[in-house]
Amino acid sequence: VVLTPLRLEAWALSAALAGHGETVRVGYGLRRATAAAERLPRGADRPTAVAGFGGALAPGIAAGDVVVASEVRDGAGSAVPCPSASLVAGELRRAGLSVHVGPILTVDRVVRGAERGRLAASGALAVDMESYPLVRAAQAAGSPVVVIRAIVDTPDRPLARPVTAQASLAAWRSLRRAGRVLVRWAQVAGPRRVLLASPRSFCAGVERAIEIVERALELHGPPVYVRKQIVHNVHVVEDLRQRGAVFVDELDQVPAGATVVFSAHGVAPAVRDDAQRRGLSVIDASCPLVVKVHNEARRFARRGDTVLFIGHPGHEETVGTVGEAPDRMRLVSSVAQAREIEVSGPVSYLMQTTLAVDEATEIADALRERFPSLDGPSSEDICYATTNRQDALRAVAADADVVLVVGSQNSSNSKRLVEVAERSGTPAFLVDDATEIDLGWLRGATTVGLTAGASAPPALVQRVVDNLAGLGPVEVTERQVTEESVRFTLPKEVRGT
Ligand code: SF4
């Protein structure tokens, strides 16, 4: 059911809702909405949307943009959360709309002039005159709730003819497109089980790398230059960027004499030499488990082996490790390559730390068949965090209808988690955060497996759970396959701050 104030708003939504739900006009203004809230059927736990026009409070929101409420406030200090806001916002963006997520304030009058700025200072993005009592009543009835407002007036363009007529048309069109998203949202509402894989999310190498940048910022003040993404996660990188880290692709973008942090994925010796030539002050955030593989590469190469490196072409860890002995190392990325590669003399192999265990084992087995005297690392190169996250996901994937992996597209270990779930026969999707969850994936999915790659912050996983809880009651079960207690010491350059 969509609760909407005016006939014009109901008209915008009618085409999308035909055959899928009903539009209930609640009338214009707080008094009518409060009365309508009293009439909402009790105990009707049906997905309820409040949709209509609204006024922007915050700058940067244009007529025709859509604001999705993260919570609805009443102006007297009370607020009702709308937990599935990110899911709806993502879907609206994919539908081509310009979308903002934040608090919406319900007031009892049209907001004009200086009052707009005063209300914006409270952090609310938009105002309306109906949502609060409706949302409160619907939630009390046990209904999942979402609130969207298509913006008509803004701080730059307040209500005034003929501007408002154009703005209303833009808002009306947006509302019409949003109707289809509301239907998709309602279709996936309902109770769910969430199976949380454990361990998941940050590993010791990632925590250390992030702490190194944070401490470097404290010690030296911004800017602190970081070569490549410190870890492969857009949220981590953006957060550090806002705190003063400057991410560069190569050292020639770093001013002479500045401090530069090397990322967790490790660097080739040529990069260290370059930094020294440029007089840069280096703090190395390479994960100690990557450094271990570099050491093995040097050892094998020094004794004259051809070193076959099982890894993904172009990944920074591969580039860095192969750079230890470029003349003696060869990259092998598949079983087919392992069967074809021609090598003479002594041969050894090493692996990228973030591979899928099953796939890497197959490649190593194929190499052993080809080269019976093949030497290998003293202990497995695939790191404890990669192995644990894959084992944990295997423990939930088979029982889930769909698996969500929180992580970025360039995160190797996150992508491997998707593959692990798919190998268990469960469809799996990699998302940077809740906004990237396609509502279609949740259709018919009453059990959702959830994990996160080693570079994804734990808070993002919690936000996914919160958003799923905005679709209906959620029962969360954690399946833990092992405990992790690994910690790495910080480099001396940032220790003791
Ligand atoms: S995934 Fe493994 S190798 Fe990579 S940073 Fe984490 S602990 Fe280190």
Q: Mutation test of ligand 1: which of 200, 201, 202, 206 has the most ligand atoms closer than 8 Å to its C-beta?
A: 206
Strand-pair partners of 72: 80, 104
Index of the ligand 1 atom closest to the CA of residue 287 = 8
Q: Mutation test of ligand 1: which of 212, 236, 284, 290 has the most ligand atoms closer than 8 Å to its C-beta?
A: 290
Strand-pair partners of 247: 226
Single-letter amino acid code for the residue at 30: L
Alpha-carbon gap, residue 231 to 229, rounded angstroms: 5
pLDDT digits (tens, 9 = 90+) for 297-333: 999 999 999 999 999 999 999 999 999 999 999 999 9
- pLDDT in the model for residue 43: 67
pLDDT digits (tens, 9 = 90+) for 49-65: 999 999 999 999 999 99
Q: Is the pLDDT of residue 281 over 90?
A: yes
- pLDDT in the model for residue 159: 82
Mention every residue, 6+ apart, whose C-beta is less than 8 A from residue 423.
358
The answer to whether 347 touches 305, Cβ cutoff 8 Å, is yes
Q: How much distance in Å is there from the Cα of 265 to the middle of ligand 1?
A: 8
- Taking Cα atoms as reference points, which of 350, 423, 416 lies closest to residue 380? 350
Q: Is the pLDDT of residue 497 over 60?
A: no
Q: How much distance in Å is there from the Cα of 169 to the middle of ligand 1?
A: 52
Index of the ligand 1 atom closest to the CA of residue 288 = 8
As given in the structure block, the two tokens for residue 420 are: 């692990």
- pLDDT in the model for residue 162: 66
Average pLDDT over residues 126-140: 96
Residue percentage of the chain with pLDDT more than 70: 99
What is the b/e burial string over 335-352, where b = at least 16 CB atoms within 10 angstroms of the residue's CB?
Answer: eebbeebeeeeebbbbbb
> Of all protein residues, whose CA lies closest to atom 2 belonging to ligand 1?
383
Index of the ligand 1 atom closest to the CA of residue 204 = 7
Index of the ligand 1 atom closest to the CA of residue 454 = 1
Q: How sure is the predictor about 163, in pLDDT bands with cuts at 50, 70 and 90?
A: low
pTM of the predicted model over 0.85: yes
Q: Please, what is the angle between helix 163-187 and helix 85-94, to 10°?
A: 110
DSSP β-ladder status, 447-452 and 402-406: parallel
Q: How much distance in Å is there from the Cα of 354 to the middle of ligand 1?
A: 7
- Taking Cα atoms as reference points, which of 465, 455, 448 lies closest to residue 432? 455
Out of 71, 317, 324, 436, pick the active-site residue. Answer: 317
Ligand 1 environment, Cβ below 6 A = 203-206, 264, 287, 289-290, 353-354, 383, 385-386, 413, 454
Please provide the DSSP assignment of 223-280 as one string: -EEEES-SSS-HHHHHHHHHTTEEEESSGGGSPTT-EEEEPTT---HHHHHHHHHTTP
Q: Which stretch, 152-156, 256-260, 320-324, has highest mean pLDDT?
A: 320-324
> Of all protein residues, whose CA lies closest to atom 5 belonging to ligand 1?
205
pLDDT digits (tens, 9 = 90+) for 422-465: 999 999 999 999 999 999 999 999 999 999 999 999 999 999 99
Q: How much distance in Å is there from the Cα of 289 to the middle of ligand 1?
A: 6
Q: Is the pLDDT of residue 44 over 70?
A: no
Using the 8-state DSSP alphabet, how is residue 394 labeled? H
Phi and psi torsions of 67, nearest 5°: -105, 125
DSSP β-ladder status, 66-73 and 79-81: antiparallel
Instruction: Tell me how crowded residue 372 is: count the other CB atoms within 10 A of its CB.
Output: 7
The answer to whether 237 touches 226, Cβ cutoff 8 Å, is no
The answer to whether 445 touches 402, Cβ cutoff 8 Å, is yes
End-to-end CA distance of the chain: 56
Residue percentage of the chain with pLDDT more than 90: 92
317 is catalytic: yes
Q: How much distance in Å is there from the Cα of 143 to the middle of ligand 1?
A: 42
| Arithmetic mean of pLDDT over the chain | 95
Alpha-carbon gap, residue 350 to 296, rounded angstroms: 8
